[in-house]
A and B are shown apart, each in its own frame.
Chain A
Amino acid sequence: MCRRFVTIWFRHLITDWMIIRQPALKEQPFVVAAPEHGRMVITAASAAAQEEGISTGMVVADAKAAVAGLQVFDEKPGMAGRLLKALGKWCIRYTPVVAIDQPDGLILDASGCAHLWGGEEPYLKEIVTRLRAYGYDVRAAMADTIGTAWAVTRYGQVAPVSPGSGQPQASLSQSAPVISNLPQPVPVISNGGQLEALLPLPPAALRLEAGIVERLQKLGLYRISNFISMPRHALRRRFGQEILLRLDQALGYEEEAIEPLEPVQPYEERLPCLEPILTRTGIEIALERLLETLCARLQQEGKGLRTALLKCFRIDGRTEQVTIGTNRASHHAQHLFRLFENKIATLRPGPGIELFVLEAPKTEELPAQQETLWTSGCSLESIRLAELVDRLINRVGAHAIRRYLPDEHYWPERSVRQTADLLEKATTAWREDHPRPVQLLPKPEPVEVAAPIPDYPPMLFRYKGTLHRIKRADGPERIEREWWLEAGQHRDYYVVEDEEGRRYWLFRSGHYDADRSTGWFIHGFFA
C-alpha cells in the first residue's frame, strides 16, 4: 500500500495561541521571551511583530528599540509541547497515527484515510481550514514521504498562505468563510513526485543541521537541484552521512519511523459523521455499523474480543467513552450491541459527536465453531450462557456472578471455592459422605442448650427465643480446625430434629465442659 503523510507547520504556534486566549493582542506586535545568559531573548514573535522585522533569537532590548510599544511576555516552559500534544490529539479525528514534530509541527500518517473525506485535496483542505478557523496560522502539505511533505510545508512555493502576509489573522477577524482564502493549488505532492517537488527547494528543506546548510550555502549550492545529482561518496565525504540519509528519507528510499501520540489499536474501526450526532438513535446506528465491520474482521481472522471501547469525539474537542467486557471471546455483533445498549445513556453528546471510534484492546483466539442445529440444552460451555452472564455483569458487576467448586477442606466455610470462571472444572468430587445443611448461616449463631453428658447431643436448645426439644439426633461429627491456617477450637457437629420435624445443624466449640452451657452454636438448617 502506498503511504501518504501530511505534515502541518504551526508558523506562530505560541503567539497564535495567546491571540486565541486574548483577542486584543491580535492588532499589536508582541513577543515571548525567555532569559538566556543574563538577557532576555525572543523565543516567539507574533505575525505583526515579524512584519516589523522582529525574529526569534533577537534580544528583547534591541527589539524594543526597533519597535515602539512592543509587548513582551515571559515564556512558559513546555508550553509548545503541551499545545502540540493537544493539537495532535485533536488531529486523531483525521487519522489514528499522529506524531509530534518538534518544535512546531505535526506529522499525520494519512495512508488510507483521505478517501473518507472525498480525496486528498479535500482532506488536506479540511485540516487546514479547521485549524485556521481555530486561529492557528498553519501550512500543510501531503506527500509519499515525511521528508518531502515537511520540505514543501516549510519551503514550498505552492503555499496555502503567502508567508509573512498576516493574511490568516485578518481573515479570522472578519470571520469570513475561510475556505475562500485557500489558494487553488493545494500542496498535495502526487504519488512518486518527490523528486520534482524537492528540486527547487533550498537545502534547509531537507531537515539538515545548521552547520551543513551553512557549508552548502558557502559553496553556492542554494537549491537541492544543485547537488542532488552529485556522486553519493562525494556528498558523504564533504557533508557527512546525514545529508544522504535525509535525501533518502525525502525520496522514499529509506523508511522513517514516527512515534504515534496514541498507540494504534490493531482492532479499531472509525466512523466520521458528516453532521454532528446528537441523538440516541444516531449513536445506536453508528455503533451498529462499527460493530458489524469490526466483528466481520474479527471473524475473518478467527478472533473474538474480550473488551471493547467506544470513543465518541465531540465537536467541542471532548471525548466521551464507554467500555464493555465479555467473559469469553466474542465476535457476535448483536450480543455486543446489547452490552453497549445499557451504557449508551451515559454518553453525553454535548454539541454533537463527529467521530466514533470502536476499539478492541483485548482480543483472543476464537476458532470457528460448529453451529448447532438443535439448541436443546445449555451447558456451561455454550455461548448463550456466556452472553447471559455478560449482560448481567455489565449491569451489576462481575462480583455478583459466582460458581462454587469443591475444595479439599473439611471445615464447612472452606469446603467450597468460589470462582467467577464459567469453564473452570472441579478438581475433586463433591463429598456426600456427611450430611450438610441446605441453608448455612454466614456466621454461626450462639444458642443456649441443655446437654446431658459429654459427647451426647443436647436435649433442648433455645434459638431466637424459641425452645426446641430435640427428638432425634446424629453425631457428633468432629471437624478439626486447620491449625496451619488458623488457630482455635475444633467443632463437634450434631444433626438434630426437634419435635416439629425441623432439622438443624448444631455444634459445640471445643471440648465438653459441665460448668458451661455456652459454646454451642447453630450453623445451618437441613431440608
Chain B
Amino acid sequence: MTSGMQAAKKREIIEQLQKDLLLLQGYSPPSAHPVDVGLGPVVAAFPNAVFPVGAMHEFLSDTTEHTAATGGFIAGLLASLMRQGGVCVWISASRTVFPPALSTFGVSPDRIIFIDLEREKDVLWAMEEALKCEGLAAVIGEIRDISLTSSRRFQLAVEQSRVTGFMLRHQPRDRNAIACIARWRITPIASEPVDDMPGVGFPRWKVELLKARNGKPGVWQLEWAAGQFRTVDEKIVKHGAVIRKTG
C-alpha cells in the first residue's frame, strides 16, 4: 500500500467521522438539493461545506451603509437561489431598497414581491406566513427586534417548507440570541480600481460570519464582479490620489 493511498484512506475516514460527529451533535442536513451560491471559501465554514438553504439567516447592520452592503450581498445570494425562476418575498416596515439596483446582482427585480407594512408586528406575522409557503426561493424580512420565541416559530416554519429566510436587523436594540443557522455582518470596504482605471471598483465587502451552527465562524473579503462572488486576496489595498476626471 503506497503512502498516497494511505493518506487518501485516512482523509476518507476523517470525513466520515466528521459527518458522524455532526449527526451526534444533532445536526441534520438542511436540504436534499444543495444550492451552489458561489460563495467559495465561505461555504467551507458550514457543515459538510454546504450553504444552508431552507434555514434562517440573520444579518446585522449598524448603519445605512452596512444595510446597503448587506442588501448587495443578499442580492448576490438570491441570484443563485432564484436561478430556477423562483420568486422571493421582501417584507419590511421601512423599506429603502431600490429594486432596479438588484438587477446588477443578477436578480430580476420583477420577481420579488415587496410587502410594505406599517407595523413591526405585522412584519413578523407576514414573515411567518411567507416562510410557510412552500416553493418560495427566499423570504427577506427587515426586522429590527425579534424574540427568541418568534425566531423559533420561523425556524419551525422553514423546517417544514424548506424556504430560505433572511432576517435583516438594522440597529437592533437587543442583540439577543435567536434561533437561526447563521449570523452575518456585512460591511463595505474600499474597492480596488480595475486595471488601474480611475473610479470606483467592484463592490467589496468584509463578510463576517459571527455564528454558524455546527460550523466555524470566520471573516472573509469578497467582491461582486462579473456576476459572481470573488474572494479578495488579503493584500493591502492601494490608496492613492485617484481622483481624476472620469466623466
Interface residues of chain A, those whose CB is within 8 Å of chain B, are: 375-380, 382, 384-385, 387-389, 391-392, 395-396, 400-406, 412, 415-416, 422, 425-426, 430-432, 435-442, 455-457, 459, 470-477, 495-497, 499-503, 524-527
Residue of A nearest to B33 (CB): A376
- Whether the pair A503, B200 counts as a contact (CB closer than 8 A) is yes
User: A435 to B104, Cβ gap below 8 A?
Assistant: yes
A406, A431, A457, A525 interface centre (most CB from chain B within 10 Å): A525
Chain B residue contacts of A435, Cβ below 8 A? 101, 104
Whether the pair B200, A439 counts as a contact (CB closer than 8 A) is no
Query: In the complex, are the beta carbons of B71 and A439 less than 8 A apart?
Result: yes
B203 within 8 A of A: yes
A260 to chain B, nearest CB (A): 40
Judged by a CB distance under 8 angstroms, whether B42 is at the interface is: no
Inter-subunit contact B98/A501 (CB<8 Å): no
Q: Which residues of A contact B176 (CB under 8 A)?
A: none
| Chain A proximity mask over B59-92: 1 for CB below 8 Å, otherwise 0 | 0000011011101110100000000111101000
Is A402 a contact partner of B87 (Cβ separation < 8 A)?
A: no
Is B72 a contact of A500 with CB atoms below 8 Å?
no
Closest chain A residue to B201, Cβ basis: A472
By the criterion CB–CB under 8 Å, are B86 and A440 in contact? no
Residue of B nearest to A497 (CB): B200
What chain B residues lie within 8 Å of A527 (beta carbons)? 68-69, 71-73, 75, 101, 105, 188, 203, 205, 224
A438 touches B101 (CB 8 A): yes
Residue of A nearest to B189 (CB): A501
**A379, B188: Cβ atoms closer than 8 Å:** no
Given known A404-B110, A439-B96, A525-B65, contact A500–B203 (CB-CB < 8 A): no
Q: How far is the CB of A303 from chain B (nearest CB, A)?
A: 25
Contact A501 B190, CB 8 Å, known A396-B117, A525-B67: yes
Chain A residues whose CB sits within 8 angstroms of the CB of B204 once the complex forms: 501
User: A404-B110, A471-B239 are known contacts. Are A375 and B72 too (CB-CB below 8 A)?
Assistant: no
- Are A471 and B125 in contact, with the CB atoms below 8 A? no
* A376-B135, A377-B135, A439-B64 given; 14 more Cβ-contact pairs under 8 Å: A395-B125, A395-B126, A400-B117, A404-B100, A404-B112, A405-B110, A432-B103, A438-B69, A438-B72, A439-B98, A440-B97, A474-B247, A503-B203, A527-B188
**How far does the alpha carbon of A439 sit from the alpha carbon of B224 in the complex, in Å?**
17
Q: Are B100 and A402 in contact (CB under 8 A)?
A: no
10 residue pairs of the A-B complex, CB under 8 angstroms, read A384-B135, A403-B113, A404-B112, A436-B100, A439-B64, A440-B96, A473-B246, A497-B190, A526-B200, A526-B203
- Complex CA gap A378/B102 in Å reads 20
In the complex, how many angstroms separate the beta carbon of B71 from the nearest chain A beta carbon? 4
Q: Do the beta carbons of B137 and A378 come within 8 Å of each other?
A: yes
* B235 at interface by CB-CB < 8 Å: no
Judge whether B136 is part of the interface by a CB distance below 8 angstroms: yes
- Whether the Cβ atoms of A474 and B115 lie closer than 8 Å is no
B-chain residues with CB within 8 Å of residue A438 when the two chains form the complex? 68-69, 71-72, 75, 97-98, 101-102
When distances are taken between beta carbons in the complex, the residues of chain B under 8 Å from A442 are 96
Residue of A457, A477, A497 contacting most chain B CB atoms (<10 Å): A497
B137 CB contacts on chain A under 8 angstroms: 377-378
- For the complex, would chain B's binding face be called helix, strand, loop or mixed by DSSP majority? mixed
Contact B126 A392 (CB under 8 A): yes
Interface residue? B35 (CB, 8 A): no
Count the B residues whose beta carbon is within 8 Å of the partner chain — how many? 63
Q: Chain A residues near B71 (CB, 8 Å)?
A: 438-439, 527
User: Are B96 and A441 in touch, CB under 8 angstroms?
Assistant: yes
> Among the listed A432, A440, A470, which residue makes an inter-chain contact with B104, where contact means beta carbons less than 8 Å apart?
A432
Chain A residues whose C-beta falls within 8 Å of the C-beta of B215 in the assembled complex: none
Chain B contacts of A382 at CB under 8 A? 87, 135
B interface residues (Cβ-Cβ under 8 A, vs A): 64-65, 67-69, 71-73, 75, 84-87, 89, 96-105, 108-117, 122, 125-126, 129-130, 133-137, 188-191, 193, 198-201, 203-205, 224, 239, 242-243, 245-247
The distance in angstroms between the C-alpha atoms of A380 and B75, with both chains bound, is 19
The reply to whether B86 and A416 form a contact with Cβ atoms under 8 Å apart is no
In the complex where A375-B134, A378-B136, A439-B71 touch, is A501 in contact with B110 (Cβ < 8 A)? no
Q: Are the CB atoms of B98 and A401 closer together than 8 Å?
A: no
Minimum CB distance partner of B245 in chain A: A456
Decide if A416 touches B100 in the complex (CB within 8 Å).
yes
Contact yes or no, B188 A503, CB < 8 A: yes
Contact of B122 among A379, A395, A406 (CB under 8 A): A395
Closest 8 CB pairs of A and B: A527-B72, A378-B135, A440-B98, A501-B190, A525-B68, A430-B103, A474-B199, A501-B189
Q: Smallest CB-CB separation from B192: which chain A residue? A: A472
Q: A403-B112, A471-B190, A527-B73 are in contact. Are A388 and B133 (CB under 8 A)?
A: yes
Contact A437 B115 (CB under 8 A): no
Chain A neighbourhood of B224, CB < 8 A: 527
Give Cα distance in the complex from A526 to B247, angstroms.
Answer: 19
Contact between B100 and A431, CB atoms less than 8 A apart: yes
Contacts of A525 in B (CB 8 A): 64-65, 67-68
B243, A388: Cβ atoms closer than 8 Å: no
Alpha-carbon separation in the docked complex, A441 to B65 (Å): 12
Which B-chain residue is minimally distant from A476 (CB atoms)? B247
Contacts of A524 in B (CB 8 A): 68, 98
Chain A residues within 8 Å of B85, by CB: 377, 379
Interface centre among B112, B134, B137, B189 (most CB of A within 10 A): B134
> CB distance A501 to B86 under 8 Å?
no
User: Are A472 and B189 neighbours in the complex by a CB distance under 8 Å?
Assistant: no
B141 to chain A, nearest CB (A): 13
Whether A426 touches B68, Cβ cut-off 8 Å, given contacts A377-B84, A416-B100, is no
Whether the pair B135, A402 counts as a contact (CB closer than 8 A) is no
Query: Measured between alpha carbons, how far is A456 from B199 in the docked complex, in Å?
Result: 12
B98 engages A473 (CB within 8 Å): no
- A412 partner residues in chain B, CB cutoff 8 A: 98
Complex CA–CA separation, A415 to B99 (angstroms): 10
Whether the Cβ atoms of B96 and A406 lie closer than 8 Å is no
CB distance from A219 to the nearest CB of B (A): 79
Q: Could you tell me the distance in whole angstroms from the C-beta of A36 to the nearest C-beta in chain B?
A: 63
